[in-house]
Structure 1
Amino acid sequence: MMDLTTQYLGLELEHPVVASAGPLSQTLAGVEALAAGGASAIVLYSLFEEQLRAEVARDEQLIDVQSNAFAEALDYFPTAPITTKSAAFSYLSLVERAAKSVDVPIIASLNGADLGGWVEFSREVADAGAAAIELNIYMVPGDVKTSGDLVVKRHLEIVSAVSDAVNIPVSVKMSPYFSAVGNVALQLVDAGAAGLVMFNRFLNPDVDIETLNTDAEFELSTPQEGRLPRTWIASLRNHTTASLAGSSGVESSDDVVKYLLAGADVVMTTAALIRHGRGYTRELVGGLQSWMVRKGFVSLDQVRGMLAVPTVWDGEAVRRGGYVSAIQAAKARYGAL
């Protein structure tokens, strides 16, 4: 009998295909549809640091206005706007309702670049029933004088503070743009991360030469984008016991297989589910099963990390050798045109 179960962040999942953070998990109905479609775990849409900041500022304004009121005022109405359902309240409500409604783990996603109110809110998310927290540290320094060391330090501070504050596992959705990705990944694990998601997709604006404006549209990932995260997953697999999740570039079951061979514990996707529907998860899992049968595998443990870089190899020499070979092959192929 084939065994597709996998461990991710200490959670036992039925299979390795997970619904990643995105627009499909913004509502309870959406979460329920993802679970019904076969996702083994669901990462909720991201709550943004800016949303929490705005609400804190609004609350402080309301307190300032009310502090000037006198106790005998019987018809006092504050001039500051009041929203009956804040973003934080709505998010916590969704976590709680989703955790009770579906039988797969619910992972909360917090997106920010500063420590801010993440520690306290992480506690509230855990209390609401989240099985884990995914920190999407989206930090793009606007000041070009900001050093790489400072950026890494900020990441480590956030991870350490949040992981120390909660009793549920914390993963980090990493950027691929550190000068030493592997080293930063291991530092994040040392700081408390139970898992790493590779990678975050940064917004890359284009230029509209007719309107003379920038176009900040966010596009769905393509299979080509899976090469970079698989490279680093293969590099890290034998250097850490932390969970590794592959994200970006998942379109077919072939992409799922590639991530597993590189060493991923789970494979996350939103783009494929947007393109093909929430039930497409079952097709991805079915394709994985068919491939395993064809190759004679009966469990994921036989597959995972088959192509990971061995610890006894000189990783830098291997990469350099692969690069040289690829360039030589390209010269031979295209030089004859």
Structure 2
Amino acid sequence: MDLTTRYLGLELRNPLVAGAGPFNAELDNIKRLEDLGAGAVVLPSIFEEQIEHEQQLMEDLITVGTDSYAEALTYFPSQAAYAVDPVRYLDLIRRATAAVDIPVIGSLNGATDHGWVEYARQIEEAGADAVELNIYFIPSDLDLTGRAVEQRYIDILKTVKAAVRIPVAVKIGPYFSAIGNMARELDKAGADGLVLFNRFYQPDIDLERLALVSDLDLSRPNECRLPLLWLGVLAGRVKASLAASTGVDSAVEVVKYLLAGADVVMTTSALLREGVQHIQSLRDGLEHWLAARGIHSLAAIRGCMSHRNIPDPMAFERANYIRILQGYGRK
């Protein structure tokens, strides 16, 4: 059975990608994911704040005492010229790319178009096959317009694209006023892939302590409908690869995303709940679904349920919304 697929211009043996998560920070887990059938691995995100923090630490270290010895000022380059990296992350990329044959994708999490660009170059130099920009930005400034928010995403992408030669994917959230247009603008700006969607972690309130609580709420299958909608709308209408990244708990969600038009399907929460061995269950389930229907290639099903390909594309739009509401309770 042919499960091969292309994502970001890379050849993958199947569409199952271990999304950015803490389990991917261990080389042994990356090796196991390859052995268990993962098509690619996205490393955990390195955060813009971490990079800037280490740069500041290095600046502090190299300037200590320089006021006592004037000539010492020439010993070290300035912070701007001295790119400091979280060394272990780059080392993980080097070791992982040397140890496995599947693509290893670095992940950068940030909110500005500076401070992490040089690090993107270093990710490339360390051997990563691609980089995923996980742009996590909450526009809490009430003077910030929607267009300004969109432009920030585009500026980050363009800046990183200008700095590296490896493919660049952009992971976005679902809260743009016109997601389709935003996807097209990112596509035009050079995104090699779009990952739908980033899950923003909102705070809760502890009523006993009257304090904000931040915790990790793992995704569930019922959350797949929003990315399913937009993957179906975008499939075949943008050049960028499309990755699904929410609510993938079983092969059921994998198949649905592929039918909608996803090139790859990423899972993180399920691997956190079930362990990295769950990637094999997803692959086996996908193969079983295809075999039961006499389908021998993903090309036969990918996108066949997208907006472009279904007989009634209005099922993605307002007419279906009205039909659902009017028909509720009549069965």
Using structure 1 for the length normalisation, give the TM-score.
0.90
1:314 to partner: Cα distance: 9.5
Could you tell me which residue of structure 2 aligns to residue 27 of structure 1? 26
Could you tell me which residue of structure 1 aligns to residue 325 of structure 2? 327
Q: Does the C-alpha gap of structure 1 residues 146 and 331 become closer, same or farther in structure 2, counting only changes over 3 Å?
A: farther
Could you tell me which residue of structure 1 aligns to residue 62 of structure 2? 63
Q: Is the 8 A contact 1:36 1:279 kept in 2?
A: no
Q: Is the 8 A contact 2:46 2:109 kept in 1?
A: yes
1:64 to partner: Cα distance: 3.0
Q: Does the C-alpha gap of structure 1 residues 95 and 4 become closer, same or farther in structure 2, counting only changes over 3 Å?
A: same
Could you tell me which residue of structure 2 aligns to residue 114 of structure 1? 112
Could you tell me which residue of structure 2 aligns to residue 288 of structure 1? 286
Could you tell me which residue of structure 2 aligns to residue 133 of structure 1? 131
Report how many residues are paired: 320
| Aligned residue type for 2:48 | E
Aligned equivalents of 1:310, 1:104: Cα separation in 2: 31
Q: Is the 8 A contact 1:19 1:269 kept in 2?
A: yes
Which 10-residue stretch deviates more, 4-13 or 111-120?
111-120
Which 10-residue stretch deviates more, 231-240 or 269-278?
269-278
Among all aligned residue pairs of Structure 1 and Structure 2, give the percentage whose two residues are the same amino acid: 48
Aligned equivalents of 1:215, 1:329: Cα separation in 2: 40
| 1:146 alignment partner, one of 144, 147, 160 | 144
Q: Is the 8 A contact 1:225 1:248 kept in 2?
A: yes
| Aligned residue type for 1:24 | F
Say whether 1:167 aligns with 2:165. yes
Q: Is the 8 A contact 1:19 1:39 kept in 2?
A: yes
1:134-283 superposed matches below 5 A: 134-283=132-281
Q: Is the 8 A contact 1:238 1:311 kept in 2?
A: no
Q: Is the 8 A contact 2:117 2:163 kept in 1?
A: yes
1:39 to partner: Cα distance: 1.1
Aligned equivalents of 2:313, 2:150: Cα separation in 1: 23
Q: Is the 8 A contact 2:229 2:316 kept in 1?
A: no
Moved over 3 A (4+): 311-318
1:96 to partner: Cα distance: 0.8
Aligned equivalents of 1:3, 1:312: Cα separation in 2: 24
Aligned equivalents of 1:208, 1:283: Cα separation in 2: 37
Consecutive unaligned residues in structure 2, runs of 5 or more: 73-83
Aligned equivalents of 2:312, 2:164: Cα separation in 1: 38
Q: Is the 8 A contact 2:250 2:282 kept in 1?
A: yes
Q: Does the C-alpha gap of structure 1 residues 15 and 156 become closer, same or farther in structure 2, counting only changes over 3 Å?
A: same
How big is each residue's C-alpha offset from its partner over 1:182-229, in whole Å with a ceiling of 9 and x where there is no partner? 110111111110000000000122222222112211111100111111
Using structure 2 for the length normalisation, give the TM-score.
0.92
**C-alpha RMSD over aligned residues:** 2.0
